[in-house]
Amino acid sequence: MAQVTATAERTVPAPADRVRAAVADYSVTRPAILTEQYSDYSVTTGGTGPGTTAAWKLQATKKRVRDVKVQVSEPTPGQLVETDANSSMVTTWTVAPAGDAASTVTITTTWNGAGGIGGFFEKTFAPKGLARIYHGVLDNLARTVSG
């Protein structure tokens, strides 16, 4: 099994504190910025930042739907880590200042990929597909926090 990594990054036209608050808001902002690949979104506990537990379905491809149930932690300020209870998937959201009125938001997801030929295809194509989904989420985030 090889580790697979998908990353997307975007500069958002809003101060880091506003963007961090939006990213940490699992109750209102997060479901509003998700793309059509996400469904059945719910918050089980908490709702803001560390300690939140949330669940959703992620349809990565026409045939591949993943049930995700995350526990949110904040190992360092400006960084939220979502650890999936159903798999080895870990998603890290990092928000860093990019000047006075802008922020850089990076989403990085890692997981243990399959072995063999299936693992080769997963490692080759899954990061691009997931990054495409994340770019849509980041576009929605940018519209939400800059408005």
| pLDDT exceeds 90 at position 41 | yes
What pLDDT is attached to residue 63? Answer: 79
Nearest alpha carbon to residue 41 among 52, 61, 27: 27
Query: Element (H or E) spanning 126, and its range?
Result: helix 116-146
| pLDDT exceeds 70 at position 76 | yes
Nearest alpha carbon to residue 70 among 87, 62, 82: 82
| pLDDT exceeds 80 at position 77 | yes
Confidence label for 123 from pLDDT (cuts 50, 70 and 90): low
**pTM for this structure?**
0.90
Beta strands in 13-147 (DSSP E): 38-45, 53-59, 65-76, 79-84, 90-97, 103-112
- Which is more confident, 1 or 39? 39
**56 strand-pairing partners:** 68
Residue showing tokens 């902002």:
29
Task: Give yes or no for a contact between 141 and 19, defined as CB atoms under 8 angstroms apart.
Answer: yes
Q: Around 60, how many Cα atoms within 13 Å sit in the side-chain half-sphere?
A: 14
Q: Which of 27-31, 120-124, 129-133 has the lowest mean pLDDT?
A: 120-124
Average pLDDT over residues 32-37: 96
